[in-house]
Structure 1
């Protein structure tokens, strides 16, 4: 019970510190859809964000802050106990008397209902049940395996209950669609028949790589950001015991600089670039929450603007070369 209460307290900081990463990911995904000839809707994007946050919610409740303290020596010392307590017999010890048993059963089911709902929503109608059950069971299995390494144990009952929760999410979507069919039709996408050029393929790959970089940076800096957000919480470790933010200081400016340049090539719209940079400044504020965090925010702001300026110069020089070539071609055709 204490573990669940502790992890529920972590949900709020996880939600807030991941907002910039989720927004950047979806903005890049929309641009990728554009290159692939896929038309998305506002409703679908809201649903996609909800699916991501359902994953974050599950990860926070099941793993909590334990993912921050992976230590090889600790794992070697305690993994034997975790393996010894693995339960692979279905329904063994599932029905327990008292509040703990009730919370365990219903908590494992309800936790996966939103995830199952949104997985089904983004699946083809004829494959919904298959995708939902596989996704629910697969995600639960991954979480159970991770728990072995954080001094908890793997239980087949949790996988059964989680999969049941995902299936109930699928059933909830079916019931909702029958009543509000017009509303749920707005979540569909339209794919136009478009032959991708080499340039479009390169852009799609570039956006995908950028998305991966964003999530890698998030993974590297997540511990510091959550700790900073939860500065006054007695449930979290003292910030004085945390190592200096060396990785953050090295990786975040590089991310800001690269994204600022790439955004110029992908979007070429000042408003979108400013929104992305604003999101990155928020990351800096969360990550470097100390007496000098305003100075670091100013540095990151300068770096992002520098990256934008360099991107502008590259685009302008590229356009000048293209115009020169066009003029030379037209000039040569006129004199032929």
Structure 2
């Protein structure tokens, strides 16, 4: 059985309206479980969080604003959406995000009963987005970046850094008034810069002009292996063997494509995962060290402090205290 989602539509309309206030609504208990919340920055960026499940299939719809850029992130069940009268379909898988320019058309989504949806949406005022491009990018980059989101939908994969930023975003309430907005803006800008780097793949595009495709492919595959095996990352020789090249060529190719060395990338990914585990689990620092591939807690603590400014235990305590205030 499928419900028309009238109650859900009212909640979504509140979440997607433009008024600058923070709201949190509960999914009606006769419909399902969960919450839909919204936070607005001083620049008018709207962050919407949807954590919900339904007893039966639910149809919902909302109108996109043609003066907004939309960023959707999926951390749960796959979502399918149709747009406009032509019912153009796009899907967002778990662990995936998409970015597109609003069209002013109606978006329709069917949420399946019995499934849990965990979605984030960033509505970015187009004027703010394009002003940012004008401030930080040259004319050729701006034209290319504008083209990425005009007329179609671009997809990217979500990594643990994205999840980590979303985890930290909710802690803006630990600050009062202006500092709270400043913290919120900084985290949203951090998230946006990460998304833009992924969407536009600027490093890979630049490197592809200088490197043979096989070398670019080897570097990309090496990064995938590192991400999948962060606890026991293969040594340089083994990593090069796995991607079918030499250690020298892989090292140079990796730096050309990603702008950093393999060693530095491994350390950064381990620290990002460590920070996410500190925030999202009750694991001890020692357990986290083992999980991310550090044999000594002292080495982890020193590297963590260089990146985040505090040792791991203090980092967790500060955020826990902030979240409870």
TM-score normalised by the chain length of structure 2:
0.30
Greater RCO (CA < 8 Å, at least 6 residues apart) = 1
Q: Which has the higher helix share?
A: 1
Q: Which has the higher strand share?
A: 2
From the CA coordinates, give the structure whose radius of gyration is larger.
1
